Amino acid sequence: MNSVPSIVVTGLGMVTPIGTGREEFWNALIAGKCGFGPVQSFNTSGYSVHLGAEILDFEPKDHVVRLRTRVIGRSSQLAIAAARLALTDASLDLETIDRRRAGVCVGTTSGEPHFIERFDDRYVQGDIANAGDGLIRGYPCHVVPSHVAAELEFAGETMMIPTACAAGNYAIAHASDVLRAGRADIMLAGGADCFSRITYTGFARLGAIAPELCQPFDRNRKGMVPGEGAGFLLLERKDQAIARGARIYCEVAGYGLSCDAHHMTAAHPQGEGASRAMVMALKQSGVAAEDVDYISAHGTGTPTNDRLETIAMKKTFGELAYRIPVSSVKSMLGHTMGAASAIEAAVCALAITHQQIPPTMNLHEQDPECDLDFVPNQARKRKVKVAMNNAYAFGGNNSSLLFRASAA
Amino acid sequence: MKRVAITGAGVITSFGDSPAALHSALSDGEKAAYRLEDCEAGVSACRQGGHIGSFQPETYLKGKPLRALDRTGRIVASAAKLALENSGWTAEILCKHDVGLVLGTMFGSVHTISEFDRRGLTHGASYVSPMDFANTVLNAAAGQTAIWHNLRGINSTIACGATSGLMALGYAADLIRHGSQTALLAGGADEFCFEAFCGFDQAGLLCRCNGHSEFPVPFSAQRSGFALGEGAVLLMLEEWSAAVDRGAPILGEIRGHGSSYDPAANGECGPETIAQAMNSALYDSGIRAAEVSCISASANGSVFADRNEALAIRAAFNGSGDAVPVTAIKSMVGEALGASGALQTVALLQSLQTGVLPGIRGLEQPGPEIPALNLCRRKQDINAGFGLINSVGFDGNACSLMISGVGLEFSRGNEISVKAAL
């Protein structure tokens, strides 16, 4: 196993409803800032809910340099912004790298939904002749990593892993494999999703959207808040990072992925698949359960998710579960869909760096069925050497990533 | 690093539902029997491509209601059933082992997504169906198939446009090579639908029929675009020694793969990028170009992509490019997007096993800008060896996969079992 290189995180970039860029984002997170408001990007008068977590001050032209902002979709714009922020954060001089060995791997729920929404608008207005215009260039979800690669002139592997709300974790897991296998020297791995009418409509119909607040693990929680955002991690081999004098946030210690094979939209009632993913991540990382210092929960704030996620953590960690701080940053960011687990992976890296855990906000009356330490309402200083990032998705897709402080 | 055995395959194609039937139809130079609905024919001048008219999900998916699965879900779950059967994974064994699923797809079901959205627009947001919403996620077919067949291992969906299927096979092979999973189904699928057809038509990528009814011919001087088809193809991949231990039939091996991206952002994948993917696959496999006995090209009748791929083959094979036989089965199956790479892989595996490589249907005179290559006009006998599969996307992605057929290394002595050969 000694021949397998360690993979480290050396750059973080995020565009979120509570802040853009590592510092602004982390400060907002520690301060418990919430990013919710009435949906602006489309008319929700026909809906019973109106809350969303949109990024209201995003200016694509501030970030997109090489591509034309008018021809690429909003998910691509958000992704490019986050990718560039991660590169800058990593102090990586693009002139010094072999672009053929630089790749991009992205996770998403919807890709570029605005293009199919435009198709549908035209279709219902009877303009079928022009409905498909621009669809192929703009819509298929793989255009997001392609656009990031084109913007940065990366010529290595570009891949989209659209495993819905766990997609960011899948992308980071794969990117770390690509680096371990020696297929690339640099990987930008992350997730991106723009605010989507289709997603909002679906979650509204499921009754899963909170009317006023996202309150994970609270007994009065009423649902999630759909959001948008992008997050990228710059990953590279540890020896390369040390050689170029890069700041190392942490190592990607390992991952666990599994499938419930139980239900499309509901998690397994005993947390079976989620627990298998956590166990696999521990095993692959060679980390003992008692060494986990922090868990970044999926924690959407829906009644079912938070209850079953608690069961899965207890199933995995037993009595230890009560001693591990767990928090859900979705209480502040909302659910940024495919970007969520990538942003939460960055949260894990920052928790290790700052030795501080962001809070679960809006947690006033803890659900007796969710009886773990959810770090309510106040950030906490604490030793964090190992952090676990959990994310779950439609389709029964479960994912756990483990990050570990990097020994000098 | 562990070796990756191919122990079975399941196909839902325009040429039926078995790898042998597919290979036989391709070798006979048949044209896919696709069907276009009237409403679809109405949006384009293109009259080629369409649905697999013969597909009946009830043939494969019994005992549970099909209602929850859309067309993509149905073709994938059907291909999975066939692949599991073909490789000897029974429901009883599946209870004890976590088998994974890696599905390549360009669109998931854009038809499901679009219909869901249009219903919200025309009837109101509260009148959409929650069951349809579950299928609007791009990993829906992989999730539905996992539920149907109880596949609890790593479940991933790979979207890289028309290279999705081949990228999924490479991704899955690496999960096995590096020990993350010992058995998984991998391949790709895309359904033919109005939305995609309409989009490709307006992007100018479909073949122009010019008043005649010919299926597009890859590399030909007259090529003007591709015919949009559909399909679902899954291969059973297993860690070699685990496959041997369970006495599985080993049909072939994934030897290596490589992929590359052209950042020029002009909607084209240049020859250097395609050659880079092929060279990476050769390097990853530890195989010299001269050892490759056949190439399954991505070429589908597209004006630029076919030319660029031909130039890339010529470059990557550095002089031997006009010796190794090159076929292009999209001359018969059309462009099945996410399914294409996996479809080519199954067909080439059959070629390596039977020694017969299908020809490029309808190819008489290659275009003048196509460099000298050994383009197969008719089916031909090939030597045992390694087969290279190419996938070239519409917007800069290129991927190559190297396989070998079993039998090749082990069948020389009549009774040598695979286990003994190890």
Burial of residue B18 (CB within 10 Å: 0-12, 13-18, 19+) is middle
Q: Which domain holds residue B145?
A: 4-245
**Chosen domain end from B245, B280, B299:** B245
Residue (of B236, B252, B113, B130) closest to B183 by Cα position: B236
In Å, how far is B416's CA from the nearest CA of chain A?
33
User: Which among A141, A198, A273 has the least Cβ separation from residue B136?
Assistant: A198
CATH among 3.50.50.60, 3.40.47.10, 3.30.479.30, 3.40.190.10 for A7-243? 3.40.47.10
Asked if residues B150 and B81 have their Cβ atoms less than 8 Å apart, the reply is no
Q: What is the pLDDT along chain B (422 residues), one digit of tens a residue?
A: 999 999 999 999 999 999 999 999 999 999 888 999 888 888 888 889 999 999 999 999 999 999 999 999 999 999 999 999 999 999 999 999 999 999 999 999 999 999 999 999 999 999 999 999 999 999 999 999 999 999 999 999 999 999 999 999 999 999 999 999 999 999 999 999 999 999 999 999 999 865 456 899 999 999 999 999 999 999 999 999 999 999 999 999 999 999 999 999 777 899 999 999 999 999 999 999 999 999 999 999 999 999 999 999 999 997 666 789 999 999 999 999 999 999 999 999 999 999 999 999 999 999 999 999 999 999 999 988 899 999 999 889 999 999 999 854 443 333 334 433 33
Residues 6+ positions from B225 with CB-CB distance below 8 Å: B46, B204, B205, B206, B207, B208, B216, B301, B302, B303
For residue B251, tell me if it sits in a domain: no
Q: Would the CB atoms of A146 and B108 count as touching at under 8 Å? A: no
Q: Minimal Cα distance from A261: which residue of B?
A: B147
**Chosen domain end from B190, B214, B245:** B245
d(CA A197, CA A117): 8
Choosing among A76, A99, A142, which should be mutated to test the B contact, i.e. which has the most B CBs within 10 A? Answer: A142
* B80 and B225 share one domain: yes
For residue B38, tell me if it sits in a domain: yes
pLDDT given for residue B44 in this prediction:
86
Q: What three-state secondary structure class fits B271?
A: helix
Q: Would the CB atoms of B43 and A129 count as touching at under 8 Å? A: yes
Q: Would the CB atoms of B260 and A100 count as touching at under 8 Å? A: yes
- In three state form, how does the secondary structure of chain A look? CCCCCCEEEEEEEEEECCEECHHHHHHHHHHCCCCCEECCCCCCCCCCCCEEECCCCCCHHHCCCCCCCCCCCHHHHHHHHHHHHHHHHCCCCHHHCCHHHEEEEEECCCCCHHHHHHHHHHHHCCCHHHHCCCHHHHCCCCHHHHHHHHHHCCCCCEEEECCHHHHHHHHHHHHHHHHHCCCCCEEEEEEEECCCHHHHHHHHHCCCECCCCCCCCECCCCCECEECEEEEEEEEEHHHHHHCCCCCCEEEEEEEEEECCCCCCCCCCCCHHHHHHHHHHHHHHCCCHHHCCEEECCCCCCHHHHHHHHHHHHHHHHHHHHHCCEECCHHHHCECHHHHHHHHHHHHHHHHHHCEECCECCCCCECCCCCCCCCECCCEECCCCEEEEEEEEHHHEEEEEEEECCCC
* B234 and B272 share one domain: no
* Same fold yes or no, A7-243 and A254-404: yes
User: Which among B116, B143, B284 has the least Cβ separation from residue A397?
Assistant: B143
For residue B294, tell me if it sits in a domain: yes
For residue B421, tell me if it sits in a domain: no
Low-confidence ranges of chain A (pLDDT < 70): 1-2
Which residues on B lie below 8 Å from A160 (Cβ)?
158-160
Q: Where are the domains of chain A?
A: 7-243, 254-404
Choosing among A120, A165, A170, A252, which should be mutated to test the B contact, i.e. which has the most B CBs within 10 A? Answer: A120
Q: What is the ipTM of this complex?
A: 0.97
pLDDT given for residue B413 in this prediction:
36
By annotation, the residues of A acting in catalysis are 165, 298, 335
* B207 and B289 share one domain: no
User: Which among B122, B161, B180 has the least Cβ separation from residue A142?
Assistant: B161
For residue B422, tell me if it sits in a domain: no
pLDDT, tens digit, 9 for 90 and up, residues A346-399: 999 999 999 999 999 999 999 999 999 999 999 999 999 999 999 999 999 999
Q: Would the CB atoms of B263 and A150 count as touching at under 8 Å? A: yes
Alpha carbons within 13 angstroms on the beta-carbon side of residue B11 total 27
CATH of the domain at B84: 3.40.47.10
User: Which among B98, B178, B202 has the least Cβ separation from residue A180?
Assistant: B178
Q: Would the CB atoms of B147 and A393 count as touching at under 8 Å? A: no
Which residues on A lie below 8 Å from B99 (Cβ)?
none
Using CA of residue A290, residue A293, residue A298, residue A302, what is the dihedral sign?
positive
B51 membership: H or E segment, kind and range: strand B51-52
* B142 and B177 share one domain: yes
Q: Would the CB atoms of B159 and A202 count as touching at under 8 Å? A: no
Choosing among B107, B136, B392, B399, which should be mutated to test the A contact, i.e. which has the most A CBs within 10 A? Answer: B136
Token pair listed for A302: 């829906």
pLDDT given for residue B33 in this prediction:
87
CATH among 3.30.70.270, 3.40.47.10, 3.40.630.30, 2.60.120.1570 for A254-404? 3.40.47.10
B405 membership: H or E segment, kind and range: strand B397-405
Q: Minimal Cα distance from A280: which residue of B?
A: B180
The CA-atom distances, in angstroms, between B348 and each of B161, B345, B351 are: 21, 5, 5
Q: Would the CB atoms of B158 and A160 count as touching at under 8 Å? A: yes
Residue (of B12, B334, B7) closest to B141 by Cα position: B12
* B180 and B217 share one domain: yes
For residue B63, tell me if it sits in a domain: yes
* B236 and B265 share one domain: no
Q: What is the DSSP letter of B169?
A: H
In Å, how far is B25's CA from the nearest CA of chain A?
31
- For tokens 């307006």, the residue is B202
Domain count along chain B: 2
For residue B250, tell me if it sits in a domain: no
Q: Would the CB atoms of B263 and A153 count as touching at under 8 Å? A: yes
* B309 and B289 share one domain: yes
**Chosen domain end from B226, B245, B264:** B245
Enter the pTM of the model.
Answer: 0.97
d(CA B76, CA B80): 6
For residue B95, tell me if it sits in a domain: yes
B41 membership: H or E segment, kind and range: helix B38-41
pLDDT given for residue B256 in this prediction:
98
Q: Minimal Cα distance from B156: which residue of A?
A: A163
* B278 and B207 share one domain: no
Q: What is the DSSP letter of B339?
A: G
pLDDT given for residue B197 in this prediction:
96
